Chains A and B, each alone.
Chain A
């Protein structure tokens, strides 16, 4: 037996039992290893039933038998054939990839975790290999040599595992010379899985909620009144101003649609309060809706049909209430739907008018068909025309950086508006490194229906590139807040920052605007909307009289 100070003692490679061997087999022969901490629990039968989706049943990822419906293989192949004839994107992206590898190290899940099947090209090959086998001559004749493989139950499991490890953020698509968009491939793959009744509960339950109650969080109309009234109370406590609360108001000029996360979840609630204050101050004739109470649309993470089913309520409600145009809040994937899908799916919105700011008179021509504008476009216009009285020094204790949310950046291109607003309301704004912002922004790791907690490890891996860049500006510029105009970001980046860059808080942009705004009839502002003392202003004793709902 060799002693610890002898060479031979250390030559036992198995000393620590480290799994250093790379997969010896090609990726097709490497079976999927479903790891807890990476997968999300399956959709419950009750939710599938609400939505009339096929094969509702209760099952678990760990089960050997996923209880696929009879003839599942035929269902999948017919589903593929159908989509190949309906989506040029899908057909083209199946054919044109040259596997140049430009996308390989662009995915946040691959960068943070290193699982080769998280390279966008390989994620797509999971589906492409079946396409070749069943739909191309080369694949039928040459088989594996042409990169084709048989559709088996293991392939379905692999799809489920990896297509629910894609956040549809489209970062890879920016670098692809043919514009191949993995988000598009993931969407189709999830549709195919859906044909077999394979969903994750974290997206299908919000979808079922949204279908029945109008929002993902299952807030009933009276519950929504309650939370909004609580906000009215908190606003009064912070500013001394009592704002009005228009809900389902017929004949209002503007319908305000925002993600439902902002109605209940911290810190989204402060963004919602800020917007209520802003509308009140400017005297905008707007209304919330309890029926169209979510701009967010988890249908995007389920199927194209589901996007349309959930999105229909927005125009329907605008028509019922007789508003002139629609204003959208700070949300990421909601804006992908509103910008790229809503008009096509549920338009034309010929009963609405081209959005026109009642304050500045600006006509938002770029939204002349959809008739919906982003709150940052609206605010940037207000600030440009000097319509907001701002005291940015109230935010002087904040050193802020800005996270571009994937969809507004890569499916819309709203990059300058939020920066313009931030610069107007904060004196200390710092950008993260260039290859982590704007069109190259990194995902929070929890988009596309993955923002739950059972896959926390995976989310933190995926959030590493973003967290790492935040950490960088934290060290370099003393950044202590991260602004993001997305409700999923406001939920998931809090966790990402807590782990990778502890000490950095997450905020909406509107919240910073309201904290910097000087309102008519406001009290001496000592507290922000979070009812925390504003540093440098807390020297006076807080006045008891302001608190209202004690």
Chain B
């Protein structure tokens, strides 16, 4: 149910986007909506991050995954159990760049006393790494459309990405990894009853959305003869605030379908689970140093509570305490 609705939604959105190819619609789908989407995306992201950052962190609660820093002769594990800001940054870097916690699942195990095998869990890490890193590189590659002249680093990245030199135009490695990673993440969600049980429409929709964007992008590059000059003109126009109606009309329906899905993605991510990429930086169990006993953490909303003070305690038990030889304050 959740799967079908999500698939239908993405399909519908794509078709809606192809309307941009219709005469006169270029202005809406090629200019108005992209600006709107970027606005919602950036605004939404700021709002989302602020909605977290504005909430205080009352206690310092890192999850420690290695030896603490205590006695000087005991080797501590600063990247798994950071003791100061710098090592906490190191831990975050491992987490953000290499998904350290997901990688924890890769463990060699001895099965049935003899055989050494690896659990199947590393696949999640591999799939996630392939998808996320390719996505980043694909984003950077697209800068060649938005910028004129193209920065050298983008050109370099593009060349490196196409090093296999298969196909014409060259098929990028990241394109393949991106689609393969997505396909794995989707297949995994569909195949495992356990995951199907916990998955919501909000888990399938982004997967289909990314797939839609990826496939339409691949299509644009490799199957349809896209008018790349017009596309570049539209894109550069967007970044430079100068628009050319001829280029907008010539860009083609498929291009608008692709662009519209990107717009949807931009507008959707701050309000969905995709915002996890910003959330991970703020996670108190990961970004805090385990310096609890050496540096006092202050709770900004601390308030006095009702306690049972010592004198009340002694008042209740004074005679018994004296009888048992426990020293008391008041005789």
Residues of A within 8 A of B (CB): 22, 26-27, 52, 84-89, 91-92, 95-102, 104-105, 116, 119, 121-122, 125, 137-138, 142, 145-147, 170, 173-181, 184, 211-214, 220-222, 225-226, 247-250, 290-291, 304-305, 308-309, 312-313, 316-317, 320, 339-341, 343-345, 347-348, 362, 364-370, 372, 377, 380-381, 384, 409-417, 420, 434-435, 438-440
Give chain A nearest CB distance to B77 CB in angstroms.
8
CB atoms of B308 and A177 under 8 A apart: no
Q: Which of B111-138 contact A (CB under 8 A)?
A: 121, 124, 128
B299: chain A residues at CB < 8 Å are: 344-345
Report chain B residues within 8 Å CB of A180. 283, 285
Q: Contact: B71 with A384, CB < 8 Å?
A: yes
A-B contact pairs, 10 of them (CB 8 A): A145-B200, A145-B201, A177-B102, A178-B280, A178-B283, A316-B309, A368-B293, A369-B293, A369-B296, A384-B73
- Given the contacts A87-B55, A138-B271, A220 and B294 also touching, CB distance less than 8 Å: no
Given contacts A119-B198, A313-B307, contact A88 B60 (CB under 8 A): no
**Chain A proximity of B104: nearest CB distance (Å):** 6
A339 — which chain B residues lie within 8 A by C-beta?
A: 292-293
**Chain B CB within 10 Å — which of A91, A414, A415 has the most?**
A415
- Measuring CB to CB, which residues of chain B are less than 8 angstroms from any residue of chain A? 2, 5, 51-53, 55-71, 73-77, 80-81, 83, 95, 99, 101-102, 104-105, 107, 109, 121, 124, 128, 192-195, 197-203, 271-273, 275-276, 279-280, 282-286, 290, 292-299, 301-302, 305-310, 313-314, 316-317, 320-321, 323-327, 329
Q: Please, which residue of chain B has its CB at the minimum distance from the CB of A305?
A: B305
Provide the residues of chain B in CB contact with A410, threshold 8 Å: 63-65
- A121 CA to B273 CA, complexed, in Å: 14
Residues in B neighbouring A305, C-beta threshold 8 A: 305
The answer to whether B68 and A366 touch across the interface, beta carbons within 8 angstroms, is yes
Q: Interface of chain A, helix or strand or loop or mixed? A: helix
Q: Which residues of B contact A384 (CB under 8 A)?
A: 71, 73
Interface of chain B, main secondary structure: loop
Cβ contact within 8 Å between A86 and B64 = no
A411/B307 in contact, CB under 8 A? no
Are B310 and A320 within 8 A (Cβ)? yes
Contact A102 B271 (CB under 8 A): no
Complex A-B, nearest 3 residue pairs according to Cβ-Cβ distance, in ascending order:
A413-B68, A413-B64, A222-B324
Q: Are B64 and A347 in contact (CB under 8 A)?
A: no
Q: Are A92 and B283 in contact (CB under 8 A)?
A: yes
Decide if A439 touches B66 in the complex (CB within 8 Å): yes
User: How far is B307's CA from A169's CA once the two chains are assembled, in angstroms?
Assistant: 27
Are A95 and B200 touching (Cβ within 8 A)? no
Nearest CB in chain B: distance from A422 CB, A: 14
**Chain A residues whose CB sits within 8 angstroms of the CB of B73 once the complex forms:** 384
Considering the chains assembled together, what is the distance between the CA atoms of A412 and B77 in angstroms? 12
**A417 touching B71 by the CB < 8 A rule?**
yes
User: Bound state CA distance, A377 and B321, in angstroms?
Assistant: 33
Contact A104 B60 (CB under 8 A): no
13 additional A-B residue pairs with CB within 8 Å, beyond A142-B201, A414-B70: A88-B53, A101-B124, A116-B194, A137-B271, A177-B95, A178-B283, A247-B326, A248-B326, A309-B306, A313-B307, A340-B59, A413-B67, A416-B75
A212 x B102 contact (CB < 8 A): no
With beta carbons under 8 angstroms apart, the residue of B105, B276, B298 that contacts A98 is: B276
Q: Which residue of A lies closest to B319 (CB)?
A: A222
The docked-state distance in angstroms from the alpha carbon of A439 to that of B104 is 11
A88 touches which one: B57, B308, B321 (CB < 8 A)?
A: B57
Query: Given A96-B280, A146-B200, A365-B294, A411 and B61 touching (CB < 8 A)?
Result: yes
A86 close to B58 (CB less than 8 A): yes
B306 touches A52 (CB 8 A): yes
Q: Which residue from chain B places its CB closest to the CB of A52 in the assembled complex?
A: B306
Residue among A226, A249, A416 having the largest count of chain B Cβ atoms under 10 Å: A416
CB-based nearest B residue for A136: B271
Task: Give the CA-CA distance A409 to B305 in the complex, in Å.
Answer: 30
B115 to chain A, nearest CB (A): 15
CA distance A122 to B109 in the complex (A): 27
Please determine whether B194 and A102 come into contact, CB atoms closer than 8 angstroms. Answer: no
Rounded to whole angstroms, the CA-CA distance of A95 and B128 in the bound complex is 19
Closest Cβ of chain A: how far from B28's Cβ, in Å? 25
A52 to B305, CA, bound (A): 12
Pairwise interchain contact A102-B61, C-beta atoms closer than 8 A: no
Smallest distance from the beta carbon of B13 to chain A beta carbons, Å?
16
Residues in chain B near residue A247, CB distance under 8 A: 326-327
Q: How far is the CB of A437 from chain B (nearest CB, A)?
A: 12
Chain B residue numbers with a CB within 8 Å of A411 are 61-64
Question: How far does the Cβ of A397 sit from chain B's closest Cβ, in whole Å?
Answer: 27
User: Are A99 and B68 CB-contacts (below 8 A) given A119-B198, A175-B104, A368-B294?
Assistant: no
Do residues B310 and A291 form an inter-chain contact, with CB atoms below 8 A?
A: yes
**Smallest beta-carbon distance A474→chain B, Å:** 15
Given contacts A225-B324, A312-B305, contact A86 B56 (CB under 8 A): yes
B59-A341 in contact (CB<8A): yes
A339 → chain B, closest Cβ, in Å?
A: 5
**Closest B residue to A125 using CB positions:** B198
Question: Shortest Cβ distance from A371 into chain B, in angstroms?
Answer: 8
> In whole angstroms, how far apart are the Cα atoms of A181 and B101 in the complex?
13
Give A381's nearest chain B residue, CB to CB. B71
Q: How far is the CA of A107 from the CA of B305 in the complex (A)?
A: 34
Q: Select one of B62, B124, B293, B321 contacting A366, CB under 8 A.
A: B293
In the complex formed, the residue of A with least CB distance to B95 is A177
A104–B102 CB distance below 8 A: no
Min CB gap B82→A, angstroms: 10
Q: In angstroms, how far is the closest chain B Cβ from the Cβ of A187?
A: 10
A362 to B95, CA, bound (A): 35
Residues of B within 8 A of A366 (CB): 68-70, 83, 293-294
Closest A residue to B300 using CB positions? A86
| B residues less than 8 Å from A211 (CB atoms) | 308
Give every chain B residue within 8 A of A98 (Cβ-Cβ): 203, 273, 276
Q: Which of A125, A345, A439 contacts B65 (CB 8 A)?
A: A439
Q: Are A91 and B52 in contact (CB under 8 A)?
A: yes
Smallest CB gap from A308: residue in B: B305
